[in-house]
Amino acid sequence: MLRRSFLLTPVALQAQDAIKVDVNLVNVPFSAQDTRGHWMPNLSADDIEVFEDGIPQKLSFFSRAADSPLSIAVIADMSSSQREFLNEHRRDLRDFLRTVMTKRDQAMLVCFGASIRVASPFHEEAEHLDDALKEFQKSKNSSMLPRLGPPEIRSGGTAFYDAVYHTAKEMAGQTGRRSILLFSDGEENASAHNLLDAIEAAQEHSATIFSLRYTELRKDKIWTARNKYGRSVMTRLANESGGLDFDAAEGRNLKMAFQQISNMLRASYDLAYTSSQPMTEAGFRKLRIRSKTADLSFRHKTGYYARTN
């Protein structure tokens, strides 16, 4: 029997007192833009159609951003260059969280280098996360914080893929929409997991990744092969999960990036359907959302992996 471990209970179901949950529901967060790049906040289920491997699917649930809580995981690369950059923009991050979070929303902070630590578990106050980040940057004994993921013997100092992988897994218990703000240069040398593992974890748990990349270049400003690899990794994580990718080094100003993320989150949706495909084999199922009524472009995870049990 094929087991769909990626499947989540839609928010629309959780508000009801007693309901039979279909464990084969596929949950897909998405957003849409018109031809001028404006986010579309007022779509209905009748405006779209969903395809899995080219086969039309019948929607079971549909909800707008305003109808569901938001969980945000901030993943901060704490290597030397990244730590300095994040310190410069800590207030921008705090202001963003204040703006986008309502009373029912939560945010957590994960900091990583060679190890991955939960600097702040999920909390409803943006200031709590800001304080946790300040404390982490000052602390010389971060090993006292809870570890995320199993203990690993690492020879390198940057467990980038493991940080994304374990954070996405940590978000599995959160209701509503799930987003990851990823601060890093995308360079990796210490993980047990790889890029595909990180992408699959984000898709499995419907975590939309917003990549905020700052790459410290050589004095001659030439991109090294390692720099280029990190850039492609950050871009792919965002694209495969349905998020956005930003070069945070441009003007060293994150306010515009945070505004775009905020606009997208306010105009996001969740849909769910039961796959019409026979449950006979494992593999990647490709997703596509199309507008019935207008010329729109959609951002959503590219698909999901179905596995045998």
Tens digits of pLDDT across the chain (309 residues): 333 433 344 444 443 333 344 457 899 999 999 999 999 999 999 999 999 999 999 999 999 998 999 999 999 999 877 888 888 888 899 999 999 999 999 999 999 999 999 999 999 999 999 999 999 988 877 889 999 999 999 988 999 999 999 999 999 999 999 999 999 999 999 999 999 999 999 999 999 999 999 998 888 989 999 999 999 999 999 999 999 999 987 655 788 999 999 999 999 999 999 998 877 778 899 999 999 989 999 999 999 998 765
Element (H or E) spanning 137, and its range?
Answer: helix 126-138
User: What's the pLDDT at 291?
Assistant: 97
Task: Give the C-alpha separation, 281 to 144, whole Å.
Answer: 44
User: What's the pLDDT at 17?
Assistant: 38
Task: Give the C-alpha separation, 297 to 299, whole Å.
Answer: 7
- Give the residue ranges of DSSP H helices in 221-254: 225-241
Domain ranges in the chain are 2-65+269-308, 70-265
User: What's the pLDDT at 137?
Assistant: 86
Strand order in the sheet with 25-33: 59-64, 268-274, 25-33, 297-300
User: What's the pLDDT at 252?
Assistant: 58
Say if CB 76 and CB 111 are below 8 A apart: yes
User: What's the pLDDT at 251?
Assistant: 53
Class assignment of domain 2-65+269-308?
mainly beta
Beta-bridge mates of residue 61: 272
Say if CB 26 and CB 5 are below 8 A apart: no
- Angle made by CA atoms 266, 267, 271, in degrees to the nearest 5: 115
Say if CB 4 and CB 24 are below 8 A apart: yes
* Rounded alpha-carbon distances, angstroms, from residue 183 to 78, 186, 189: 9, 9, 16
User: What's the pLDDT at 281?
Assistant: 75
Say if CB 134 and CB 90 are below 8 A apart: yes
Task: Give the C-alpha separation, 308 to 4, whole Å.
Answer: 8
Say if CB 65 and CB 265 are below 8 A apart: yes
The tokens describing 224, both together, are 């090294």
Task: Give the C-alpha separation, 56 to 53, whole Å.
Answer: 9
**Residue 242 per-residue DSSP state:** T
Among candidates 112, 216, 215, which has minimal Cα distance to 157? 112
Residue 110, helix vs strand vs coil: strand
Class assignment of domain 70-265?
alpha beta
Task: Give the C-alpha separation, 163 to 187, whole Å.
Answer: 12
The tokens describing 72, both together, are 């945000």
Phi, psi of 239 (to 5 degrees): -65, -40
Residue 97, helix vs strand vs coil: helix
Task: Give the C-alpha separation, 134 to 128, whole Å.
Answer: 10
